[in-house]
Amino acid sequence: MILFKHPKDITTFIVNQSIERNSIGFVPTMGALHNGHISLIQTARAENELVIASIFVNPTQFTEQSDFEKYPSSIEADIFNLEKAGCDMLFLPTVADMYPNGSLPSRQYDLGRLDSILEAEFRPGHFQGVCQVVQRLLDIVAPGKLYLGQKDFQQCMVLKKMISLLDIDTSIIICPTQRETDGLAMSSRNSRLTPAEREKATYLFRAMQSIQEKLREGDLAQLQRNAQEILTKQGFKVEYVAIANAHTLEIIQNWDGKSALVALVAAYINEVRLIDNLLLNPPLQ
């Protein structure tokens, strides 16, 4: 695997490979890699001639400075695991490389409702920062395919919207959430959990399963409340438990028994904020 620090170097190298854009797969990350990330690399490996990953903890997508500062890092292990999974190139820029003119946003992305609901409500400005960094990364790498994990459900929708707004020639491939054997979604933030918190964290998945098991046409309010109660009883500080249309993220109160639904949760266990989601009636078309 070849490491690049400077945008110009990686762009020139990729161009010189003369590989068709559609055969370049890109996996953007913020490091502290786990098997969820590695499964994205493996999928990209199977589908492309050239596989590129990036590790960049993007300051502009953090609402809390302390969250940015505490973001876990394991760069040596990350490099080892990326190489093992067959990644060809790793882009490891600094903040100055990514934002040579300063990190203040130069534009506002019109993300509609996606920029005010669920994650966006609790992390104002987050998705603007995600769009800013991903647009810059796509400019540098110019991949045909961008691999994202379903774990960040709303982020996937936001980036689809951004790509369509800017008419970027990259398709998004959404890969399933990887889970530990007890159901906890793999996340870099899990490494910040104490053993006791780690045990409780599994209730996020259980709460969503409780919705899935009792899902019936009609009013969903009680299901949503029950799931929230499961979490509160375990000591979580819940930001949201929502049941939404899986294509539009419109919150569904009264289900017609047909439309594709997704349950989404965000909650704190002490200092650590975790999110997860579950497609309630897959497959998603």
List interacting residues with ligand PAF (CB under 6 A): 28-30, 58, 61, 130, 133-134, 152, 155
Measured CA to CA, the distance from residue 239 to residue 101 in angstroms comes to 35
Contact (CB, 8 A) for 270 and 197: yes
Separation of CA 4 from chain center = 23
Buried-exposed string 116-138: b where 16+ CB fall within 10 A, e elsewhere: ebbbbeebeebbbbbbbbbbbbb
Nearest residue (CB) to ligand PAF, 32 versus 204: 32
Give me the least distance between CB of 252 and ligand PAF, in Å please: 25
Measured CA to CA, the distance from residue 52 to residue 41 in angstroms comes to 8
Nearest residue (CB) to ligand PAF, 28 versus 144: 28
Measured CA to CA, the distance from residue 89 to residue 22 in angstroms comes to 16
186 closest CA partner among 149, 153, 158: 149
Up-side HSE of residue 261: CA atoms within 13 Å toward CB? 24
DSSP state of 117: S
Residue nearest ligand PAF by beta-carbon distance:
28
Please tell me the total number of residues recorded for the chain in this structure. Answer: 285
Give me the least distance between CB of 166 and ligand PAF, in Å please: 16
Nearest residue (CB) to ligand PAF, 29 versus 224: 29
Give me the least distance between CB of 177 and ligand PAF, in Å please: 12
Residue type (1 letter), 54: S
Nearest residue (CB) to ligand PAF, 155 versus 170: 155
Nearest residue (CB) to ligand PAF, 102 versus 257: 102
Give me the least distance between CB of 106 and ligand PAF, in Å please: 17
CA angle 29, 32, 89 (to 5 degrees): 50
Show which residues are catalytic.
37
Q: Which residues is 262 bridged to in the sheet?
A: 244, 279
Residue with tokens 């110009």: 8
Nearest residue (CB) to ligand PAF, 127 versus 205: 127
CB-based contacts of 215, cutoff 8 Å, min separation 6: 223, 255, 261, 280, 281
Give me the least distance between CB of 102 and ligand PAF, in Å please: 18
Give me the least distance between CB of 241 and ligand PAF, in Å please: 21
